[in-house]
Amino acid sequence: MVLRIETPEHAGARDQARDLVGPLGSDLSGRDVVLACAGLVVGTPSFLDEIVKQVLAERVANSLCVQGASERVQLLLERSAQNRGFRDRLVFAVRS
């Protein structure tokens, strides 16, 4: 089962990331999560790191598939996933 979350235009705090992921539930085992970033204008490293932490580390989703992210957002997510040891579970969809 695929779950989807959309970033707000301005995403800047860890609390904001936890609130965004919260409705997905505490156990995402066996599930893939899509992070839709097309509307993201400002995304801080801490917000993006918290998304990776919540989805891949704490809730143990199979993957985090990122759609519509800018190169900067992709780099920040990739860095976070690499630092946390989850780079293999982070996927980027082709940006159209």
Q: What tens digit of pLDDT does each residue of 36-45 get?
A: 999 999 999 9
CA dist 1 and 14 (Å) reads 26
Fold for domain 2-92?
Aconitase; Domain 2 (3.40.1060)
Q: What is the mean pLDDT of residues 5-13?
A: 94
pLDDT for res 95: 54
Which among 44, 92, 51 is positioned nearest to 69, based on CA atoms?
92
Share of the chain above pLDDT 70, in %: 97
Write down the pLDDT at residue 22: 96
Buried/exposed code over 19-34 (b: 16+ C-beta within 10 A; e: otherwise): ebbeebeeebeebbbb
Has residue 83 got a pLDDT over 90? yes
- What is the predicted pLDDT for the residue at 34? 97
